[in-house]
Amino acid sequence: MIFIVVRFKTKPDWSERWLDLVHDFTEATRDEPGNLWFDWSRSIDDPSEFVLVEAFRDDAAEAHVNSAHFQTAMREMLPALAETPRIINTTVDGDSWSRMGELSVD
């Protein structure tokens, strides 16, 4: 699978509106064939930083980047961002989360 983590730093006046801004993009991406997950988190240390964790089947990420909703989201996000997002994009074996080996809940 293609595993991607992106850190988005928003302008302070956009921090409380960020999830609303990306809502349609999030829903459209989750509906894409080949999307495994697309989940947002907010930093507990910096309320203006949002982290996106996403995964696609190996052949699906290109269609995502070329989709109309992706292109629209990139334009709509721009005024809300304080800096260029930082990304980790890699290929990982498997297609789902694994159980943590160091901690087990019975």
Please give the average per-residue pLDDT across 17-24, as a whole number: 98
Q: Residue 13: helix, strand or coil by DSSP?
A: helix
pLDDT at 37: 97
CA distance to 59, 79, 104, per residue, from 51 (Å)? 23, 18, 26
pLDDT at 106: 83
Domains along the chain with CATH numbers: 2-91 (3.30.70.100)
pLDDT at 26: 97
pLDDT of 46-66, one tens digit each?
A: 999 999 999 999 888 888 989
Is 36 a residue whose pLDDT tops 90?
Answer: yes
pLDDT at 62: 81
The pair of structure tokens assigned to 32 is 């894409």
CA distance to 37, 55, 67, 69, 89, per residue, from 58 (Å)? 13, 9, 16, 20, 12
Please give the average per-residue pLDDT across 65-89, as a whole number: 96
